[in-house]
């Protein structure tokens, strides 16, 4: 994980373990360190916090440590999305983790093999250690960030919106204590000259006035810069004036689709070109107040059909030249969201190795309204359009401040722009040239194309040898199979399959 995007929860686990009387060492692996030299060798328990893209890496590290007699624990997004698979490779797998859950692990601290124990609190913890307590872990992580240093903070958990693909759509919205927020910001000013805070709230500003009051009470306006993800419905001009006053420098709103997810965009009743114009006007207005804006889109949603959604996105780029477009291929992360059950019931989820599930390197849901080849043609086309020389130049000119101007150029010329054009084009070409590719994508074969095996092998390096047998594969229907069977009732047709029997 990039040091500036490092998660808060591993730091929380570190603080809680110390409070329970343990010695802790925390490492944020950014992909460049020599793991063999940074990982400690004299430990009793290893906790790994991983997103799904790092699953194979974490499985390999866990295997290496278990051989040495260490008990291993997995938490984070991958553990929440794929607990059944993770249990094969860890002694404990954690869902929602509060201090009591952690205590249970520490008190038991025993190997559980071949299948690890799954533990989850009923809900997210009511409070988390603040920046002061986490500082001993934040500081060394920030040293790994080359120029910008972003301190991770949380003002709330969960989200009241219900975007069907999102892991937070089923997590109750819960604001964290405002006193803690104030204390964190004040503390930060004693440690850094002009700190940058990245809000990790899934949707910043649900209780907008309360959060902004707390920020204003804690620190003088302009003394700390902020970055946040927020939905368009919350970004009214009045709110933007206050965000500007408090030095919010970057906002990442999700548009997702021109035909769906209208609630969070505050545009429930409009679709298609009308939505493009409405959202474009709003994003251009946001850019008058906030120097850096990234707009997020999901490609391949069931509501999309034909070339129109892609053409509308191009129109949006023309009308909103300053915003950086971020694209995600529709991905069903295990049991992250209820929508994934539907995909699994329909047999549309493919078993691409976790290593590629980063919203871009593989799309594990077969699109409802597209065959793979035309779909990838559209993906390549929209990526090329978004990061063409003309688009890069227009973005440069449309941004006012130096850092955003150049950040957009760098992003467009690196993995997010040129890199993705190259990768998506390579996948598209293989769909024609490599029959094993097309068969795998269409669901006609479970045999993973060599292309994917080679990439994992090369990315894992020497840890490839530690990857347990079979760990490259997972059951893409595990979520569906874990559902309780619903007994038949008189109102159900006698031959209807019970949930979980659709395999
Ligand atoms: S608004 Fe954002 S955080 Fe909330 S449910 Fe939708 S995608 Fe998730």
Residues 6+ apart with CB under 8 A from 346: none
What are the tokens at 258? 């021109």
Mean pLDDT over 257-276 rounds to: 80
Residues 6+ apart with CB under 8 A from 443: 347, 350, 366
Q: From the CA of 231, give the closest atom in ligand 1.
A: 1
Residue nearest to atom 2 of ligand 1 (CA): 203
State the distance from the centre of ligand 1 to the C-alpha of 231, rounded, in angstroms: 7
Ligand 1 pocket, mutate which of 174, 205, 231 (most atoms under 8 A from CB)? 231
Q: What is the pLDDT of residue 146?
A: 83
The pLDDT-based confidence of 234 (bands split at 50, 70, 90) is very high
Q: What is the pLDDT of residue 488?
A: 47
Q: What is the pLDDT of residues 173-202, one digit of tens each?
A: 999 999 999 999 999 999 999 999 999 999
Is there a domain that residue 455 lies in? no
Q: What is the pLDDT of residues 2-52, one digit of tens each?
A: 899 999 999 999 999 999 999 999 999 998 898 888 988 899 999 999 999
Ligand 1 pocket, mutate which of 160, 161, 295, 326 (most atoms under 8 A from CB)? 161
Is there a domain that residue 115 lies in? yes
Is there a domain that residue 434 lies in? no
pTM value is 0.92
State the distance from the centre of ligand 1 to the C-alpha of 162, rounded, in angstroms: 7
- By residue count, the chain amounts to 503
- Domain with 10 in it: 3-119
Is there a domain that residue 417 lies in? no
Q: From the CA of 166, give the closest atom in ligand 1.
A: 8
The pLDDT-based confidence of 371 (bands split at 50, 70, 90) is very high
Q: What is the pLDDT of residue 271?
A: 87
Q: What is the pLDDT of residue 68?
A: 95
Q: From the CA of 165, give the closest atom in ligand 1.
A: 7
State the distance from the centre of ligand 1 to the C-alpha of 160, rounded, in angstroms: 8
Measured CA to CA, the distance from residue 45 to residue 195 in angstroms comes to 34
Mean pLDDT across the chain? 93
What are the tokens at 4? 């500036």
User: What DSSP state is assigned to residue 235?
Assistant: -
Measured CA to CA, the distance from residue 226 to residue 222 in angstroms comes to 10
Q: What is the pLDDT of residue 298?
A: 94
438 alpha-carbon distance from chain centroid: 28
Mean pLDDT over 388-405 rounds to: 95
Let me know the angle formed at the C-alpha of 337 by 348 and 495, rounded to the nearest 5 degrees.
55
Taking the alpha carbons of 13, 15, 16, 18 in that order, is the dihedral positive or negative? positive
For residue 102, pLDDT over 90 is answered with yes
What are the tokens at 188? 């930060």
Location of structure tokens 């819960």 = 174
Q: From the CA of 160, give the closest atom in ligand 1.
A: 4
Q: What is the pLDDT of residue 157?
A: 96
Count of domains in the chain? 1
For residue 239, pLDDT over 70 is answered with yes
Q: What is the CATH number of the domain that holds 47?
A: 3.40.50.280
Rounded percentage of the chain residues whose pLDDT exceeds 90? 85
State the distance from the centre of ligand 1 to the C-alpha of 161, rounded, in angstroms: 6
Q: From the CA of 167, give the closest atom in ligand 1.
A: 8
Measured CA to CA, the distance from residue 407 to residue 109 in angstroms comes to 45
Residue nearest to atom 6 of ligand 1 (CA): 163
Measured CA to CA, the distance from residue 268 to residue 279 in angstroms comes to 12
For residue 53, pLDDT over 70 is answered with yes
Q: What is the pLDDT of residue 495?
A: 36
Is there a domain that residue 19 lies in? yes
Is there a domain that residue 189 lies in? no
Q: From the CA of 162, give the closest atom in ligand 1.
A: 5
State the distance from the centre of ligand 1 to the C-alpha of 172, rounded, in angstroms: 12
Mean pLDDT over 68-76 rounds to: 97
Ligand 1 neighbours by CB, cut-off 6 Å:
159, 161, 163, 166, 168-169, 202-203, 231, 254, 264
- Of the CA atoms within 13 Å of residue 271, those in its CB half-sphere come to 8
The DSSP-derived string for 362-422 is ---B--SS--HHHHHHHHHHHHHHHTSHHHHHHHHHH--SHHHHHHHHHHHHSIIIIIHHH
What is the enclosing helix (H) or strand (E) of 46? Answer: strand 45-49
Residue nearest to atom 3 of ligand 1 (CA): 202
State the distance from the centre of ligand 1 to the C-alpha of 138, rounded, in angstroms: 26
Is there a domain that residue 396 lies in? no
Q: What is the pLDDT of residues 103-120, one digit of tens each?
A: 999 999 999 999 999 999
Ligand 1 pocket, mutate which of 124, 165, 168, 330 (most atoms under 8 A from CB)? 168
Rounded percentage of the chain residues whose pLDDT exceeds 70? 95
Residue nearest to atom 5 of ligand 1 (CA): 169
31 CB-contact burial (10 Å; exposed 0-12 / middle 13-18 / buried 19+): exposed
110 CB-contact burial (10 Å; exposed 0-12 / middle 13-18 / buried 19+): exposed
State the distance from the centre of ligand 1 to the C-alpha of 288, rounded, in angstroms: 24
Let me know the angle formed at the C-alpha of 157 by 152 and 158, rounded to the nearest 5 degrees.
130
Residues facing residue 250 across a β-bridge: 227, 292
End-to-end Cα spacing for the chain? 36
Q: From the CA of 229, give the closest atom in ligand 1.
A: 2
Is there a domain that residue 66 lies in? yes
Measured CA to CA, the distance from residue 83 to residue 69 in angstroms comes to 22
Let me know the angle formed at the C-alpha of 203 by 199 and 204, rounded to the nearest 5 degrees.
50
Least reliable range by pLDDT among 143-152, 174-183, 243-252, 472-481: 143-152
CB neighbours of residue 375 within 10 Å = 22
Measured CA to CA, the distance from residue 410 to residue 282 in angstroms comes to 25
State the distance from the centre of ligand 1 to the C-alpha of 238, rounded, in angstroms: 22
- Identify whether the C-beta of residue 255 lies closer than 8 Å to the C-beta of residue 265: yes
Tell me the pairing of strands 156-157 and 174-175: antiparallel
Residues facing residue 75 across a β-bridge: 49
Q: From the CA of 203, give the closest atom in ligand 1.
A: 3
- At 134 the three-state DSSP class reads helix
Closest CA to 239 of 271, 276, 268, 266: 266
């Amino acid at each position: 994980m990039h040091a500036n995007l490092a998660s808060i929860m591993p730091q929380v686990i570190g603080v809680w373990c110390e409070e329970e009387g343990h010695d802790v060492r925390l490492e944020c692996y950014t992909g460049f360190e020599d793991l063999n030299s940074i990982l400690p060798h004299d430990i009793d328990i290893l906790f790994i916090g991983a997103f799904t893209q790092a699953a194979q890496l974490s499985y390999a590290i866990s295997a290496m440590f278990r051989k040495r007699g260490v008990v291993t624990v997995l938490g984070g997004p991958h553990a929440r999305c794929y607990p059944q698979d993770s249990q094969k490779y860890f002694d404990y797998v954690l869902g929602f983790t509060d201090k009591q859950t952690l205590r249970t692990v520490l008190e038991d601290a025993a190997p559980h093999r071949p299948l690890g124990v799954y533990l989850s609190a009923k809900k997210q913890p009511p409070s988390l250690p603040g920046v002061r307590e986490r500082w001993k872990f934040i500081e060394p992580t920030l040293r790994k960030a080359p120029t910008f240093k972003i301190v991770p903070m949380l003002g709330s958990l969960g989200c009241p919106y219900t975007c069907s693909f999102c892991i937070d759509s089923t997590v109750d919205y819960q604001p964290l204590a405002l006193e803690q927020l104030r204390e964190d910001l004040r503390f930060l000013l004693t440690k850094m000259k002009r700190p940058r805070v990245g809000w990790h709230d899934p949707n910043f500003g649900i209780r907008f006035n309360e959060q902004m009051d707390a920020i204003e009470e804690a620190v003088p306006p302009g003394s700390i810069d902020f970055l946040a993800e927020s939905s368009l419905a919350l970004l009214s001009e009045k709110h933007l004036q206050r965000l500007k006053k408090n030095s919010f420098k970057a906002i990442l709103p999700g548009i997702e689709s021109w035909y769906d997810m209208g609630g969070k965009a505050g545009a429930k009743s409009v679709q298609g070109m009308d939505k493009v114009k409405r959202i474009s006007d709003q994003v251009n207005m946001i850019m008058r107040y906030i120097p850096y804006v990234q707009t997020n889109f999901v490609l391949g949603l069931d509501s999309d059909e034909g070339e129109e959604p892609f053409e509308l996105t191009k129109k949006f780029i023309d009308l909103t030249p300053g915003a950086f477009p971020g694209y995600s291929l529709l991905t069903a992360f295990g049991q992250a969201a209820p929508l994934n059950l539907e995909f699994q019931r329909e047999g549309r989820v493919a078993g691409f190795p976790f290593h590629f599930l980063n919203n871009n390197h593989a799309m594990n849901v077969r699109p409802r309204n597209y065959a793979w080849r035309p779909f990838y043609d559209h993906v390549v086309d929209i990526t090329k359009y978004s990061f063409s020389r003309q688009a890069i130049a227009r973005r440069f000119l449309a941004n006012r401040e130096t850092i955003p101007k150049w950040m957009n150029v760098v992003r467009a010329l690196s993995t997010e722009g040129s890199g993705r054009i190259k990768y998506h084009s390579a996948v598209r070409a293989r769909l024609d040239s490599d029959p094993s590719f097309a068969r795998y994508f269409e669901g006609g074969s479970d045999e993973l194309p060599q292309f994917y095996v080679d990439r994992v092998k090369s990315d894992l390096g020497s840890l490839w040898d530690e990857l347990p047998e079979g760990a490259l594969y997972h059951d893409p229907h595990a979520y569906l199979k874990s559902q309780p069977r619903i007994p038949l009732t008189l109102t159900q047709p006698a031959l209807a399959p019970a949930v979980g029997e659709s395999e």
